[in-house]
Amino acid sequence: MIRWLVRRTLQAAATFAIALLLLFVLMRLAPGDPLSRLVGDRDVSAAEIEQLRRRFGVDQPLLIQLQAFLAGAARGDLGVSIEHFPDRVTTLLASRLPATLLLGGVVLLLNFTVGIWLGVRQAVRRGSRFDRWTGRLALAAYAMPGFWLGLVLVAFLSLRWRLLPAAQMTDPLLPAGADGLTRALDILRHLALPALTLSLTSIALTMRHQRAAMLSVFRLDFVTAARARGLSEKRVRWGHAWRNTLVPMLTLLGLWLPVLVSGSVFVESVFNWPGLGSLAAQAIAARDYPVLLGTATLVSGAVVFAGLAADLGYALADPRVRPS
Amino acid sequence: MSDLLEVQDLRIRFPAPGGGVSCPVDGVSLRLARGETLALVGESGSGKSLTALALLRLVPPPGVIDPASRIVLEGVNLLELQGEALRAIRGGRIGLVFQDAMTSLNPVISIGEQVRETVAAHRTLRGKEARERAIALLDEVGMPGASTRYRAYPHELSGGLRQRALIAIALAGEPDVLIADEPTTALDVTVQAQILELLDQLRTSRGMAVLLISHDLGLVAGRADRVAVMYAGQIVEEASTSRLFRSPSHPYTRALFGSIPRLDGAVDRLVPIAGAVPLPDAWPPACRFHPRCPEVLARCSIETPPVVPLAPGEMSRCWLLVKGAR
Amino acid sequence: MIGSLGGLLRRAWTHPSGRWGALALVVLALVAVAAPPLLPDPAEMPDAVLGATPPSLAHPLGTDQLNRDMLARVVVGGRISLSVAVLAVLVSLTLGAAVGLVAGYAGGWVDAILMRGVDAALAIPRLFVLLLLLVVWEHIPLGALILVIGTTGWFATSRLVRGEVLRLRHEPFVTASEALGATGWRTIARHLLPNAAGPLLVAATLGVGDVILLEAGLSFLGLGVQPPTPSWGGMVLEARPLIVTAPWTAIFPGAAIVLTVLSVNLLGDALQAALDPRGA
């Protein structure tokens, strides 16, 4: 088991390394000069340009740059931001990570409770009106661009009807001495709309996976056998059938991360939620390449890690898979 | 011995492809008394397994049990039960040992846990007591090292041990009737004998009635008190085991014997039964065996043979037994 | 192959939601193609001072902040978004099939390297790849945008095709025909298409929906279709400051996206179900 884990981790590291290589190539592929934006229309002398180029390391030959990038990534150093110079990219990422984790965590929680429950219900009531219409509604929500749904929700629920805050994570007018509970509630109120937007647009994914997995398990002999033992329908459904869908659902967890991350770029920027997504959006506007690259690196690393975790999860969830 | 279980005119209907209805089980009647073993014998496709499922009301959709059927367990018509009462019967009064232990056991739950949860579902035992009872059951079915094997997963056990686990689960609710559907098909010959011996022991020690379903006549020879032979959804002959083996009264039963290899050299050629088992959506008219019957009469293809009672508890569906039919 | 595809389409037609999806798409496509000449010029600003006006008889979907007819803009935007999506998916399909074929047939280290690369590429969310490429590419021309989007979406297709090729390689009839002198290439290619056509069609259909959403997002960030070419995402971006005073300027383009993507997905679902009848 340990040997397998080590081997798998090395594989993941290799994949990540290749991903880093690809990211670097991407960065150099695009025509245009990342520094031009910084310079803008100002009249800059050649010497000043040369100074800038040296500062950001773009004056070196490509191979040296690649080396520097990879070495830096291994150390955990992703360079310096152009817009927020001299802040290090890693510092920026670290400061924004908690907000995204909070948002992402809540969205995952919603998806994997409500989404799973709905998916199971759909499977149990296969072919019913509930099944068909829930499926269609979920699909319609999935077809909504996150930024659009967010804007519409903000327009009506926040700006027009003043039910929930329109932006950011906290109320800037909150008194400094406010206690923990008030602060927490304040964050929750701000969390509501972005979490709702991200959840709605992605719940179809969870529901369909769960529904399909349940349907294929229902067909298996041991489900009838479990009923024949006189176990309650609830136990048969959850303890026997659903328990066997954990493995296919783990695949979903691996798919989820890219969906979450991509969605959060739009949702966070619409709601000004101070996370990685809005950082990326701001970096786009400012043409802050190092920050964008740093975010992409972090996200890719997370995806690779999530895949590794999913594999480990398989082994734990399905005793047949455990390598001896 | 009074009847524990009585099945009257069991009929199961399925929608047939292209409209219409087919009845893979078409008028089956059985009686089972406490302490006896009834063997239900037939080829695959005769409807044996469906009959077993019907007794627990587990006919897979879109199949339905015809409302005119009756399944009576000690005076209670099982077809009228709903919800909790029905659940209590499953495993609690009637236990079913499925054919394939590998697919009937949940692969991600240990066998001990599967026994324990069944115990907990039927008795008011909880926690440690339920666990101990589960281990005791595994012991009872001859599982070596029951307390350690408790944690084993189905794929970690041999075929024979898996079958024993399945039997333990079926017994967990302390049923009065045990249905064993082809309990030995997936096993080696030596293990087969062990399992059948075990079932016999359990029957006497627990005073249960056993319905032994098999396609193998030889298997039931020393194990059953009575035999019911099933063909094309119907019971074509029912008799005590000794009488059936001595002088089978239905051509199908006779043909079955003729196709079994025997060690005493009494048969010099195996005579397989000509033709193939008919499908439920195309039962032959009148006597369903007539297209393959070596002793067929003209009447057999025109008029459905009646149920001819022979001795008490014995019958046969054949024109040959009706005086003046030839 | 046409036969098997035809059968697939026919079975998909029996699905009620698939039927709606297909019909809606046909209507959308027709509108996108035929309607523009019948509508006012989307660039025309009859009375710029008026700014955005709510839906009326003259302007069924209202006007935007520059008093341009919304209906015309949405329709022309639809033309752009749909063509970008379809063309990009075609690019992805071609690339994916090519790589998949090569990897599956060549095997050995070629396969290993290619698939390692695919794995790594899949680790980077598609959006980020596009962001990195497009951020520095100011004013990207439409054709280049299509190519860029297409080249970021072929990875899963290559896996699919590779899987099919591998499966076919081990089929006895391939080795038999090879023994008879026919090159494995030809046999596989001839049998690959009918087998893979179904799954590829499903992947392509669902891919169109993905690209529409992706392109809309990119345009919303200012990176996709460049103004003054109308695009649904771009229209939502422009409508953002007016979201409270003139919500229709944002609602309609978004609704158009929802309708189109939903139709595409419904159709894709029906095709998927037609492929695997048990899964419905």
DSSP A112: I
Q: Does A247 touch chain C (CB under 8 A)?
A: no
Mean pLDDT across A204-229: 92
Closest-CA residue of chain A to C245: A155
Residue A289 CA from chain centroid, whole number: 20
**pLDDT given for residue B1 in this prediction:** 47
**pLDDT given for residue B320 in this prediction:** 85
Q: Which residues of A touch B109 (CB under 8 A)?
A: 239-240, 243
| Residue C211 vs residues A306, C68, C145, C208: alpha-carbon distances, Å | 25, 27, 12, 5
Average pLDDT value for chain B:
87
Q: Give the DSSP letter string of B262-274.
A: -TTS--SS--PPS
Taking each helix axis from N to C end, the angle separating A246-271 and C184-220, rounded to the nearest 10 degrees, works out to: 30
CB A292 within 8 A of CB A172: no
Q: Which residues of B touch A228 (CB under 8 A)?
A: 56, 58, 90-91, 96, 98
Contact yes or no for A30 and C243 at CB 8 A: no
ipTM for this prediction: 0.86
DSSP B155: G
Q: Does A254 touch chain C (CB under 8 A)?
A: no
Nearest to C214 by CA among C130, C141, C143: C130
CB A187 within 8 A of CB A99: no
Closest-CA residue of chain B to A222: B104
pLDDT for residue A37 is more than 60 = no
**For residue A35, what are its two tokens?**
């520094």
Q: Does B169 touch chain A (CB under 8 A)?
A: yes
Mean pLDDT across C103-128: 88
Nearest to A198 by CA among A152, A141, A249: A141
User: How confident is the model over B41-54, as pLDDT tens digits?
Assistant: 988 888 899 999 99
Closest-CA residue of chain A to B110: A319
**pLDDT given for residue B99 in this prediction:** 87
Cβ count near B131 (within 10 Å) = 19
User: How confident is the model over B66-83, as pLDDT tens digits?
Assistant: 999 999 998 889 998 888
Q: What residues does B70 pair with on adjacent strands?
A: B8
**pLDDT given for residue B116 in this prediction:** 93
DSSP A115: I
**Helical H runs in chain C?**
2-13, 16-34, 70-106, 108-123, 126-135, 142-151, 155-169, 172-179, 184-220, 232-239, 248-275
Q: Which of A47-51, A116-120, C184-188 is predicted most confidently?
A: A116-120
pTM of the model: 0.84
User: How confident is the model over B165-186, as pLDDT tens digits?
Assistant: 999 999 998 899 999 999 887 7
A window 202-261, beta carbon within 8 A of B = 220-222, 224-233, 235, 239-240, 243-244, 246
Q: Does A266 touch chain C (CB under 8 A)?
A: yes
Contact: chain C with chain B (3+ CB pairs below 8 Å): no
Distance CA C143, CA C84 (A): 8
Contact yes or no for B100 and A230 at CB 8 A: no
Architecture of the structural domain at C2-37+69-279: Orthogonal Bundle (1.10)
Distance CA A111, CA A197 (A): 12
Closest-CA residue of chain A to B53: A228
Tokens 């659009």 correspond to A148
Nearest to A268 by CA among A197, A184, A164, A194: A194
Rg (CA), chain C: 22
Contact yes or no for A317 and B108 at CB 8 A: yes
Contact yes or no for C125 and A215 at CB 8 A: no
Q: Which residues contact A192 (CB under 8 A, 6 or more apart)?
A: A164
List the chains bordering chain A where 3 or more Cβ pairs fall under 8 Å.
B, C
Average pLDDT value for chain C:
83
pLDDT for residue B262 is more than 70 = no
Distance CA B193, CA A239 (A): 34
Tokens 């009635």 correspond to B209
Distance CA C49, CA A71 (A): 57
**To the nearest whole angstrom, how far is the Cα of A179 from the nearest Cα of chain C?**
34
Sign, Cα dihedral of A251, A256, A258, A259: positive
**pLDDT given for residue B47 in this prediction:** 87
